[in-house]
Structure formats: structure tokens, C-alpha cells
């Protein structure tokens, strides 16, 4: 017969024990009076590895960064998605040359970052964004390494990519090759976890124990950086007493935070983009309806079907969402941690804590959700996104893609592109048919470092639409603005012409 806890067990009756718990908030307070005090508690010293949250200028611990700058510690390895801009965020530490090595996914528009790297003054480990987020997550979870399909069969796997240049442009320090394995017929490479001495993160609210609540897409890399550090400083806008935050509303438990400081530094917006004209602010992108870009965008929009979860890359792909067919609703995923990206906001609704992966101000739509960077790339890597659309520098006849670097000339970084095109989702490339010199961008083999091998399923240009098939390229649509002979002359590889060749469609 089954017995309950209220029944006899042996000769004793079990009864609940009444205990009174008293929370002594002062004894568990981690609050510091200033960023200087918090950094002093962390004992930041020369050579420390700093894990710094933020994406662009969104969710960056600015007061702590300024304090590190003022203290003058140097030779830091800094792990952060990017390095701010030249005169704000981690760009300040770049200017004062306090950073020895950056581990990032994106250089972006930071000219000093690019200059120091190409000039041999700075060590840079360019790491796919999803891999970076997972390396931090794994570090905080006590997992030393993991396998990922991202960057398999690229220079990341092969090694030899310049981490540091000599003054003459040759390689002073090269990346190490990755261990590779095959699981279930698919290529994977091993990546090591990241940990650091000090984490610098930015949150909206904290209680005195260090429980954190983030606001909008400022969540980004902050939880991952907090978890992977031995000592984490949380820079917050508001500190409340213990017990003021509902347990279910807390994004990051206080066990991962050792110091808290209230600071309300200016929140700068890297790309303030709105839906209407306004002095000093960039309006939403507009194109000439007869331009090549417009033809690409309108054709690309037809790839988006009702109910899809979609990731659109910066530039032409993002613009495709402006031309969705009637009755089509898609959930746009932005890899900085937003599913359900809405239109650009009106000027009055600009919000520094709500941006997309292009650092543009955006809004949300009903049904949107916000999450951290590691959750975002779990969504991507786990093949939960239906279609990825992005631009390219080169595409080969068998679907290889190169779109993230021109060695020695342009260093933007791969961002999330390597993760997206290795995820198993459908990959559509949108690009102009030729480069600025008039040379074909569709070529027999990519000459630039690959983003991924054999990942592209469809190519859309202003002249034509190609499908990538096991036997090569198949021309399926052609623009009214061109001829078959012109397409052949401007395409660097041979292709088959579909028996059902159709005029290029437009949304």
C-alpha cells in the first residue's frame, strides 16, 4: 500500500518543520559607490582578459570602460563582439592602446581597429559570432570545448589566418588549425571555451544581491560575459532592494555577479534610422525603382513565404522586407537577440536599447521575443530559421560563398554570417552581378576566404536568378533589362538554361 508523508514511517509521524528565514540585505550587498570602486574590487591589472558585453553601442558598460581607460592598465585581451566606434565604447581603449588582443566577430566601422590590425599593432582573433557566444556560454558552464558546424572547411578550420601582421603585411602570428570530426555525415570543428578574469556588463536593473534585468536587445552578449568571468561587474541604471524583483523576471541570477554600480552614462545610437524624414537622422533606406538594387530587392521579397522565420543580412536583404506580398507575414530574426523585428521607429520612439544586427534602430511587432546572443545562435545553429538571405563578394559555381574579408584591404569580420550559412537553413544570396570593376562575382572558385563551402541554394542579381544544383548553375529567370548573351558574358562560369526559363519576377 502506498503511504504519504503524513503517515507513520517506522514509529514516528513526519511533520513539517517551521523555520524563519531572515534576509540581512546589508550582508549580501554587492553595491559599489562608483565604477572606480567596482574596478578596484575586481583588481584589474595589466594583462587581464576582460569579457565585455554589448553589441555595437547597445548595452555597453561605458562607466567601467572609462574607468579602465583612466586607470591605464594595459596589454589586455578583450573579448567582445566588436570594439565600439573610434571615440566611444571599447574604441576608447583602442585609442589609448591598452588592448593587446581583441577576440571579436566584427570590426565594422571602427577605422582605428582596422588600422591597428592591418598595421601590425594589434592582435585580432576574428571568430564567428555564434561561436563567440557559445565559447563564452561554455566557459561559464564549465565545458572546456565543443564541436560546431560553423566555419568547417574554411580558413578557420585550416588555420594560418593572420592574428597579427608584421609591418610589411606578412603574418607575425597565425591562427591554429581546428580539430575536425564528422558526426552523422556532417563536418564539425572543435572550438575551445573562453573564460576571463573580469567581466564588464550593462543591465537595466539590479537588486543588491546582483540579480539582473536587461532591457530590450541590450541583453545581447551580457549574460554570457557575466557567466564566463571570475569577477563580474554589473553596471546598471537602477538598483533596488533585495526582494523587489520577481524571481521569474530575473534574466541573470546574482550568483554570476560580484559587484554592482549604478551609472547612467549617455546611450549613444550608432545608426539612428527612422520611418520619416528628420533633420540629422537617417531615414529608412529608399531606392530608385529602376535601379539594379531595386530589381534585386523586389525579386528577393518573393522568396519570403507566409509564416517563415527569416534572417535577412545587412543591406539589400534587409530591404526585401519592405516588399512582402499581400497576406504574407514573416518573423524576422536578428542575430543580436530579436525574433519579430518590426519597422524602423518614428523619431519620437527612437530607443538605444532596441537595435537590429546592422546596429539600426528598430521596433518590435506582436509576438516578438528577445533573448541573449547564445540563445539566438542556438536558434540559428539548430536549424530553426527557415531562410537566410545575405550579400556576397563572390559565389562559386558550386555554391561556395565569400563575403567577409578582402585580405590586406578590407576587414569587416564575419559577424554571424558563418553561423547562418552553416545552419542547414535555405541560403539565398542577393548581390549585383559584377563588382565595381565590371568583373563577374559568380566565378569558378572563390579567390577570397570562404564564409562556407557549398552552402548557397539560390543567387539573385539584377540580371538573373540562378539555382545551384548538383550539376552546376541553372538559370531559371532573366530580367527584361538584359539578354541571355549579356548574362553569359557577365557570368564567370558556364550554366544551364532552364527549359522553363521565365522573366524575372518582381514583388
Q: What is the pLDDT of residues 230-241, one digit of tens each?
A: 999 999 999 999
335 belongs to the catalytic site: yes
Question: Given a cut of 80, is residue 95 above it in pLDDT?
Answer: yes
Give the Cβ contact number of residue 371 at 10 Å.
18
Q: What is the mean pLDDT of the segment spanning 208-221?
A: 98
CB within 8 Å of 11: residues ≥ 6 apart: none
The string of pLDDT tens digits covering residues 364-374 is 999 999 999 99
- Say which residue the cell 567581466 belongs to: 199
Q: What is the mean pLDDT of the segment spanning 137-153?
A: 98
φ, ψ for residue 193, nearest 5 deg: -65, 160
Instruction: Please give the share of the chain, as a percent, with pLDDT higher than 70.
Output: 92
Query: 242 or 278, which is more confident?
Result: 242
pLDDT at 26: 44
The string of pLDDT tens digits covering residues 408-420 is 777 889 999 999 9
Q: From the candidates 335, 360, 462, 477, which is the catalytic residue?
A: 335
Question: Given a cut of 80, is residue 150 above it in pLDDT?
Answer: yes
Torsion of CA 289, 294, 296, 301, to 10 degrees: -90
pLDDT at 288: 62
Nearest to residue 139, comparing CAs of 324, 353, 374? 374
Q: Where are the beta strands (DSSP E) in 62-195?
A: 76-79, 99-104, 123-126, 145-148, 162-165, 171-174, 180-183, 186-192
Helix (H) or strand (E) holding 490: helix 484-490
Reported as a pLDDT band with limits 50, 70 and 90, residue 27 is low
Strand, coil or helix: 36: helix
The string of pLDDT tens digits covering residues 253-285 is 999 999 999 999 999 999 999 987 555 555 555
Question: Given a cut of 80, is residue 4 above it in pLDDT?
Answer: no
Identify the structural domains of the chain with CATH numbers, from first to last. 28-144+193-262 (3.40.1080.10), 285-503 (3.40.1080.10)
Helix (H) or strand (E) holding 365: strand 364-370
Question: Given a cut of 70, is residue 331 above it in pLDDT?
Answer: yes
pLDDT at 8: 41
How far is it, in rounded angstroms, from Cα 293 to Cα 151? 29
- Say which residue the cell 561605458 belongs to: 62
Three-class DSSP labels, 69-94: HHHCCCCEEEECCCCCECCECCHHHH
Question: Given a cut of 50, is residue 2 above it in pLDDT?
Answer: no
Amino acid at each position: 500500500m502506498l503511504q504519504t508523508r503524513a503517515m507513520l514511517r517506522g514509529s514516528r509521524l513526519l511533520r513539517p518543520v517551521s523555520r524563519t528565514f531572515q534576509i540581512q540585505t546589508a550582508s549580501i550587498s554587492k553595491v559599489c559607490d562608483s565604477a572606480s570602486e567596482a574596478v578596484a574590487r575586481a583588481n584589474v591589472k595589466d594583462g587581464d582578459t576582460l569579457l565585455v558585453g554589448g553589441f555595437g553601442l547597445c548595452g555597453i558598460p561605458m562607466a567601467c570602460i572609462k574607468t579602465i581607460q583612466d586607470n591605464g592598465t594595459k596589454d589586455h585581451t578583450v573579448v567582445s563582439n566588436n570594439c565600439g566606434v573610434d571615440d566611444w565604447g571599447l574604441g576608447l581603449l583602442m585609442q589609448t592602446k591598452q588592448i593587446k588582443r581583441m577576440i571579436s566577430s566584427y570590426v565594422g566601422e571602427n577605422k582605428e581597429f582596422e588600422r591597428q590590425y592591418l598595421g601590425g599593432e594589434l592582435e585580432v582573433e576574428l571568430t564567428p559570432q555564434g561561436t563567440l557566444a557559445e565559447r563564452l556560454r561554455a566557459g561559464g558552464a564549465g565545458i572546456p570545448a565543443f564541436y560546431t558546424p560553423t566555419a568547417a572547411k574554411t580558413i578557420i578550420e585550416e588555420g594560418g589566418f593572420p592574428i597579427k601582421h608584421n609591418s610589411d603585411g606578412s603574418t607575425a602570428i597565425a591562427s591554429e588549425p581546428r580539430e575536425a570530426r564528422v558526426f552523422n555525415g556532417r563536418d564539425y570543428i572543435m572550438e575551445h571555451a573562453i573564460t576571463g578574469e573580469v567581466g564588464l556588463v550593462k543591465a537595466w536593473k539590479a537588486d543588491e544581491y546582483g540579480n539582473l534585468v536587461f532591457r530590450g536587445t541590450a541583453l545581447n552578449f551580457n549574460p554570457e560575459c557575466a557567466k564566463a568571468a571570475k569577477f563580474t561587474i554589473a553596471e546598471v541604471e537602477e538598483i533596488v532592494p533585495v526582494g523587489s524583483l520577481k524571481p521569474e523576471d530575473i534574466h541573470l541570477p546574482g550568483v554570476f555577479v560580484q559587484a554592482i554600480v549604478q551609472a547612467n552614462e549617455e546611450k549613444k545610437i550608432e545608426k539612428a534610422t527612422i520611418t520619416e524624414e528628420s533633420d540629422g537622422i537617417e531615414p529608412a533606406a529608399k531606392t530608385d525603382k529602376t535601379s539594379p538594387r531595386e530589381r534585386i530587392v523586389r525579386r528577393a521579397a518573393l522568396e519570403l513565404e507566409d509564416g517563415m522565420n527569416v534572417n535577412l543580412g545587412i543591406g539589400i536583404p534587409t530591404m526585401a522586407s519592405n516588399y512582402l506580398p499581400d497576406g504574407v507575414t514573416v518573423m524576422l530574426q536578428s542575430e543580436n537577440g530579436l525574433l519579430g523585428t518590426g519597422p524602423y521607429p518614428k523619431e519620437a520612439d527612437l530607443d538605444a536599447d532596441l537595435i537590429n544586427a546592422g546596429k539600426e534602430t528598430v521596433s518590435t511587432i506582436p509576438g516578438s521575443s528577445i533573448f541573449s546572443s547564445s540563445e539566438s545562435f542556438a536558434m540559428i545553429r539548430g536549424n530553426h530559421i527557415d531562410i537566410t538571405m545575405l550579400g556576397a563578394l563572390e559565389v562559386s559555381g558550386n555554391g561556395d560563398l565569400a563575403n567577409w574579408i578582402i585580405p590586406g584591404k578590407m576587414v569587416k569580420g564575419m559577424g554571424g554570417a558563418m553561423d547562418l550559412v552553416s545552419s542547414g537553413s535555405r541560403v539565398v544570396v542577393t548581390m549585383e552581378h559584377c563588382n565595381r570593376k565590371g568583373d563577374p562575382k559568380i566565378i569558378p572558385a572563390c579567390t577570397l576566404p570562404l564564409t562556407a563551402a557549398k552552402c548557397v541554394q539560390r543567387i539573385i542579381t539584377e540580371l538573373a536568378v540562378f539555382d545551384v544544383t548538383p550539376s552546376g548553375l541553372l538559370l531559371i529567370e532573366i530580367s527584361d533589362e538584359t539578354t541571355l548573351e549579356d548574362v553569359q558574358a557577365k557570368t564567370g562560369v558556364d550554366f544551364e538554361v532552364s527549359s522553363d526559363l521565365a522573366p524575372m519576377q518582381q514583388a
